[in-house]
A and B are shown apart, each in its own frame.
Chain A
Amino acid sequence: MNSNDSLHFQYVVSKDDFTHAGSASSDVKNKLKMMNVDAAAVRKVSIAMYEGEINMIIHAYGGTIDVDIYEDRIVMCLKDTGPGIANIEEAMQEGFSTAPADVINLGFGAGMGLPNMRNNSDEFNIESEVGVGTTVTMTVYFSS
């Protein structure tokens, strides 16, 4: 594979679909393992993408995850259709959560979603507009 060529996959994530939460992350994880990507990178991708998937299920109206796997890296672009984040700096703080009680009862809402995504990405970017949506782009590089 040329370093600029990628394998592209797209996953649709639906609001409140906790039953299938993690299925996209699991699929990507399995693909990376089959490609013999190093275990540390696979773990980082699994954590970062799962947290993104869960955030879309809990907080967003649904969205898509576009995944591009290159020779040396993976780029995950998570794009939802709202409601958007008013204060990104606040949302990025560990422990900050707006998860409702029913979601907390499932074991979520620790306020670690976005921090886990940032901490397990080599490159992390978040853009959000209230009423429009949020786009998070994460890159993880593989060990050579």
Chain B
Amino acid sequence: MTIKELMDADIFTLLNDGNNHDTVLTGCYCCDLLSIAMGHAPEGCVWVTVMNNVNTLAVASLAECGCVVLACGVVADDAFLSKAKEQNITVFKTDLPVFDAALKAHAYL
């Protein structure tokens, strides 16, 4: 499944389009501790987290995650969205809990 196909599935709300539509999503990854995610998030993953600060995006970029899903209804502020745009990272949001969000995305992979 590509990021474009995840967008089209319409299961999450798109917050930022990273213009990486053809990136192939490899799986789902759930983690809120950034150093753990930095070392273990698989390349191309759908990273589901509640950590909504700009450092999440730095990790997503360096670890080459496919996209970020902010779960549990956490809010992305202007700094977060600005950074996501600058780094071309696709970000979604959902009110679902972390596990349920990952499960839902996984069903489409």
Instruction: Spell out A's residues near B (CB within 8 Å).
Output: 18-19, 21-23, 25-26, 29, 39, 43, 46-47, 50-51, 54, 106-113, 116, 119-120
What does DSSP make chain A's interface, helix, strand, loop or mixed? helix
Residue of A with least CB distance to B54: A19
**Is the beta-carbon distance between B32 and A46 smaller than 8 angstroms?**
no
6 additional contacts (CB under 8 A) given A26-B61, A47-B63, A110-B36: A21-B55, A22-B61, A50-B58, A107-B34, A108-B35, A112-B39
On chain B, the number of residues with a Cβ less than 8 Å from chain A's Cβ atoms is 20
**Is the beta-carbon distance between B33 and A50 smaller than 8 angstroms?**
no
Residue of A with least CB distance to B61: A26
Bound complex: CA A72 to CA B59 (Å): 26
- The answer to whether B62 has its CB under 8 Å from any CB of chain A is yes
Instruction: Spell out B's residues near A (CB within 8 Å).
Output: 32-36, 38-39, 43, 51, 53-56, 58-59, 61-64, 79
Give the residues in chain A near B51, CB-CB below 8 Å: 106-107
Bound complex: CA A136 to CA B18 (Å): 34
**Is the beta-carbon distance between A26 and B39 smaller than 8 angstroms?**
no
Using A29-B62, A50-B58, A108-B55 as known contacts, say yes or no to A43 and B33 having CB atoms under 8 A apart. Answer: no
Bound complex: CA A107 to CA B62 (Å): 16
**Is the beta-carbon distance between B55 and A106 smaller than 8 angstroms?**
yes
**Is the beta-carbon distance between A106 and B62 smaller than 8 angstroms?**
no
**Is the beta-carbon distance between B58 and A21 smaller than 8 angstroms?**
yes
Distance from A142 Cβ to chain B, minimum over Cβ atoms (Å): 17
Distance from B1 Cβ to chain A, minimum over Cβ atoms (Å): 21
